[in-house]
Amino acid sequence: MDAKEVAARRAVADVQEGMILGLGTGSTATHAIRLLGERIQQEGLRIRGVPTSQRSKAQAEQLGIPLVSFAQVTSIDMTIDGADEINPALHLIKGGGGALVQEKIVACATRELVIICDANKIKPQLGAFPLPIAIIAFGWQATLRHLEAFSYPVHIRTHTDGSPYRTDDGLYIVDMACGTIPDPVAFEQKLKSLVGVAEVGLFTNLAQRVIVGYEDGTTQIQERS
């Protein structure tokens, strides 16, 4: 069995009638969106989704999941999303798929952020996965120099033709190869203090629950104290 799908199935089983759900972005979140579509078709489950990217929006629409814009809601009951790395304190690195800004806005407005993953995403420390940082396109060269002052290798994310990758918000993504991030909370604050940085792919103190799926069909649940 696909471990990510196992985790997604466990999370989707907790979705209740009438919920407003944040719909994550990425390869793991696509499983959850598909399974939500199945519940709607098979059970008549009534929910509304708030997508975190154009990709999750398109998938949800194709599956017949009713959507509502973020501007129309004051709070979100549950968000189901993936992560690139998770440490024991349930701090996350997200943004490998480029949707970190909208993902964080939705995460901060949700009552319960549920992260689904396989065991490979659980790490003793964050930082092996390059840290995505969303920056303003104007003056990006100056912002890059500020980020280089942290003495970690950084590069602008590009398409295969060499052109800069742009997020749904029109931002550029810088990937920073930190190696390890001993204090994710403090590092997030330092990076966000830089002029030109729009958002950082460190999601600290946001995930309430992490569901780890395994190929044998079992799951392990970790909750933030």
- Angle, helix 3-13 to helix 27-43, in steps of 10 degrees: 50
Pair 202, 92: CB distance under 8 Å: yes
SS3 state at 72: helix
Q: Which residues are catalytic?
A: 103
**CA–CA separation, 163 vs 47, rounded Å?**
39
Report the side by side order of strands in the sheet with 131-135.
154-156, 172-176, 131-135, 197-200
Distances (CA, A) of 4 to 12, 25, 32, 175: 12, 13, 9, 24
